[in-house]
Chains A and B, each alone.
Chain A
Amino acid sequence: MGTVESRVLVVAPRPGSGDVAAPLQALGCRLVAADVAGAMVELAATGARALVVDDACSDAELLALVDAGRRHGIAAFLGQRTADAAGCRRALAAGCRGVLAATDDTEQARTLLAVAQDEQHRHALERQDFRALQSRYESLRQRCVQQAERFQETQETFFLDLSRVMTIISNIMDGIVFVDRDGNVTLLNPVAEDLLGVKAFAAVGKPLASLSGRAELLTALCTDHGRMAQQREVTQTVEVHHTEQDLLYIKCITSRVFDYRGQPAGSLSLLKDVTAEFKSDQLKNQYLSIVAHELRTPLTGIKTFSTMMVKGSLGPLTERQRRVVESIREQSVRLEHQIDKLINLGHLEGDEYGQDRETFSVGDFTNGLLLPFEQPARDRQIELQFACTVDAADQLYADRADLRRACMALIENAVKFTPDGGRVEVSVDADAGGQPRFRVKDTGIGIDPRYHRRIFEKFFQVEDPLTRHHGGAGLGLFVAKGIVEAHGSRIEVSSRLGSGAEFSFALPVHAAAATLAAAAPRTE
């Protein structure tokens, strides 16, 4: 008795008209009579199985009650003394689940109760779903809050990093220009503004090619940017007219930039003012050239006179005199080589190499190449071998003196770093493409692979300069690389620490000869 299941709330505007729900009472339901306001409280507080609204209630009261019932999962019915069509229409319009008449039999009342039970059931399920959704929503909301917090932290770190980077970029002594994939400027620091003669606000977002400022430098940057499709990094020194008399020398280093997915994102150019270095280099070269001139002049006399004496042009000599004069002559030749090396110190920049090109044969070129090293090799029991497996008449096209310097530098290094009793093999053979390749292989101390790039740097020495056993300024390979690259080739190194080294490069062939060889029909 009195359970929610059996409670039916009968609402009437005036007390004493509760008899509309008589059939439910017959089924054992406990009828609770209430006026409209009381029913509202009753619904929220205790609930009921069903709600019967007396026909005597107004439309507004009926609607409010049906709505309140629906909120609590309680089905509402319109109660009439006698069911009629008007009541049915009214019930339908207000959202009631049916009409209960005092005249209805118990079967009808049972059906109504079942409908109410269903309603209650469905409402409970919906509430469950609603709660599940609510808790899911809550956990999602919490995650969102966490993500937002994390995002904010990341953003703060990002802006901190960005401001650090921007501070560096703004205060660095070099110019920085960033150009995106389409050739538009995206960043220009103050030094770059000065050097290029362009203001950042006027340049950012515009194509590099459209800017007007220092034309020489802008043109050079455009060219470098265009070359990024083929090359990772390009370096060039540009001569810029600063004032009427003054020239600036700007070194431009342009390299590719990739985004976080590894996709090309543009290029970054670093502009370094190397005027001071350049001018001191010029002075040094002038000085060396003058020193060489001063040394060579007396040497010419010594060499000429001693040669003439050895040959007997100045009268007969005794054997002892001849030997002494021969020695004077040999020493003057040696001194001449030393002066040549000194001069080469003055010519270290790549753009000077390969200027005086001529055509000559492989045979002519290799003739006497090993001569300066034969004596030092003999002194240290180093086996010095030469082999040429290409046709000695094959034509090369190069700056002969420069090419000779490059080859000599490789041989000199091989002899220098091969221990006594070792072996140095110099050869010219055909590579896979049939091109003649100059090769120097030694049984020396070898080079750790991590130094394979660095050994070509200016003044680089693997050994500590204070404790090293081998002489030299660390320029041989730097110069050789410059020369070989000026001729369109590249020096390849293959070596491991302790197992000797091999240096090789493709010799520059005469273009006409090469074309001819390629065009010649094969006879097989």
Chain B
Amino acid sequence: MERTVLIIEDEKLIIVSTQMVLEAAGFRVESATNGEDGIAKARSLSPDLILLDIMMPGIDGWETLTRLKRDGGTANIPVIIFTAREHARGHQKSAEMGAADYFRKPFEPDELIELVEKHVGQRI
């Protein structure tokens, strides 16, 4: 069965490069460029994992995460926070808010695949 990863990220370049890495590893990749779209796609596609950026126009990653976890249809999808910006206590904050992991950009492609493999489909 094909496993789907949803990337919620406003930077096209990151979407493209992440998509290439994950597709090469055998994942189906969907994307959304802002929080609202991301939540809608998460509901309609019910992906196996979500990669979520923090700094986005409109609602930011934290708010998106909060809404995803509040929504019964998306609450059990594992979310990996995926950020290029330093956040004070990022690890702790994301864990407290229900994210499965916290990952920094730029990344090593192998590490990303390893992390996605670890959490994909681990519905909670």
> Which residues of A are interface residues toward B (Cβ below 8 A)?
289-290, 292-293, 296-305, 307-308, 311, 313-314, 332, 336, 343, 346-347, 352, 355-356, 358
- Is B114 interfacial (CB-CB < 8 Å)? no
CB distance from B121 to the nearest CB of A (A): 23
Interface residues of B in 1-42 (CB under 8 A from A): 11, 13-14, 16-18, 20-21, 24
B 89-111 to A, binary, CB cutoff 8 A, 1 in contact else 0: 11110000000000001111100
Nearest CB of A to B7, in Å: 12
Q: Which residues of B contact A346 (CB under 8 A)?
A: 86
- Sample 17 A-B pairs with CB under 8 A, ordered by A number: A290-B85, A292-B84, A293-B84, A296-B84, A296-B105, A297-B84, A302-B106, A303-B107, A304-B20, A304-B21, A304-B109, A308-B20, A308-B109, A346-B86, A355-B89, A356-B90, A358-B91
Contacts of A301 in B (CB 8 A): 13-14, 16-17
Residues of B within 8 A of A290 (CB): 85
User: Is the Cβ of B13 less than 8 Å from the Cβ of A298?
Assistant: yes
Please tell me if B55 contacts chain A, counting CB pairs below 8 Å: yes
Could you say which residues of chain A place their CB within 8 Å of the CB of B55? 293
Determine whether the beta carbon of A356 is less than 8 Å from that of B109.
no
Would you call B124 an interface residue if the criterion is a C-beta within 8 Å of the partner chain's C-beta atoms?
no
Does B105 lie within 8 Å of A307, measured CB to CB? no
Contact flag A300-B21 (CB < 8 Å), given A308-B109, A355-B92, A356-B92: no
Distance in Å: Cβ of A140 to nearest Cβ of chain B: 75
Q: Are A307 and B86 in contact (CB under 8 A)?
A: no
With A293-B55, A355-B89, A355-B92 as known contacts, state yes or no: A307 contacts B109, CB within 8 Å. Answer: yes
Distance in angstroms between the alpha carbons of A311 and B108 in the assembled complex:
12
Q: Please give the residue numbers on chain B whose beta carbons come within 8 Å of chain A beta carbons, in ascending order.
A: 11, 13-14, 16-18, 20-21, 24, 55, 84-86, 88-92, 105-109
CB contacts (< 8 Å) of A358 on chain B: these are: 91
Asked if A292 contacts B13 (CB within 8 A), the reply is: no
Closest to A304 in B: B17
Q: Determine the distance from Cα of A308 to Cα of B55 in the docked complex, in whole angstroms.
A: 26
Q: In the complex, A290→B85 CA distance in Å?
A: 7
| Contact present for B85 and A289 (CB under 8 Å) | yes
- A308-B21, A308-B109 known; A300-B84 Cβ under 8 A: yes
Q: Which residues from chain A contact B86 at a C-beta distance below 8 Å?
A: 289, 292, 343, 346-347
* Smallest CB gap from A400: residue in B: B91
Asked if A300 and B88 make an inter-chain contact with CB atoms under 8 angstroms apart, the answer reads no
Q: A176 → chain B, closest Cβ, in Å?
A: 33
The 7 closest A-B pairs by CB, nearest first: A304-B17, A296-B84, A300-B106, A301-B13, A293-B85, A303-B106, A300-B105
Least CB distance from A340 to B in Å reads 9
Q: Nearest B residue to A285 by beta-carbon distance?
A: B86
Given contacts A297-B14, A355-B88, contact A304 B106 (CB under 8 A): yes
Complex-state Cα separation, A336 to B22, whole angstroms: 22
| Chain B residue contacts of A289, Cβ below 8 A | 85-86
For B89, the chain A residues whose CB sits under 8 A away are 355-356
A305 surroundings in chain B (CB, below 8 A):
17, 20
Q: Are A300 and B85 in contact (CB under 8 A)?
A: no
Report the bound CA distance from A358 to B95 in whole Å. Answer: 13
- Tell me which residues across on chain A come within 8 A of B16, comparing CB atoms: 301
Report A-chain residues with C-beta under 8 Å of the C-beta of B90: 356
Which residues of the partner chain B approach A343 to less than 8 Å between Cβ atoms? 86
Residues of B within 8 A of A299 (CB): 106
> Chain A residues with Cβ under 8 A from B84's Cβ?
292-293, 296-297, 300
A290–B14 Cα distance when bound, in Å, is 17
Nearest-Cβ distance from residue B31 to partner chain A, whole angstroms: 15
**Alpha-carbon distance between A352 and B106 when the two chains are bound, in angstroms:** 23
A300 near B91 with CB under 8 A, answer no
A304 touches B85 (CB 8 A): no
* Chain B residues with CB below 8 A from A336, complex form: 106
Besides the known contacts A336-B106, A356-B92, 5 further A-B residue pairs in the complex with CB atoms under 8 A apart: A289-B86, A303-B107, A305-B17, A346-B86, A356-B90
* A289-B86, A346-B86 as given contacts; A300 in contact with B107, CB under 8 Å: yes
A312 → chain B closest CB, angstroms: 10
Interface centre among B14, B86, B91, B106 (most CB of A within 10 A): B106
Chain A residues closer than 8 Å to B88, beta-carbon distance = 352, 355
Q: Cα distance A300–B106 when bound, in Å?
A: 4
Nearest-neighbor residue (CB-CB) of A290 within chain B? B85
Q: Are A307 and B20 in contact, with the CB atoms below 8 A?
A: no
Please measure, in the bound complex, the distance between the C-alpha atom of A297 and the C-alpha atom of B109, giving whole angstroms.
Answer: 15
What separation, in Å, do the CA atoms of A313 and B23 have in the docked complex?
11
What are the residues of chain B within 8 A of A303 when measuring CB–CB?
106-108
> In angstroms, how far is the closest chain B Cβ from the Cβ of A317?
15
Docked CA distance A307–B106 (Å): 12
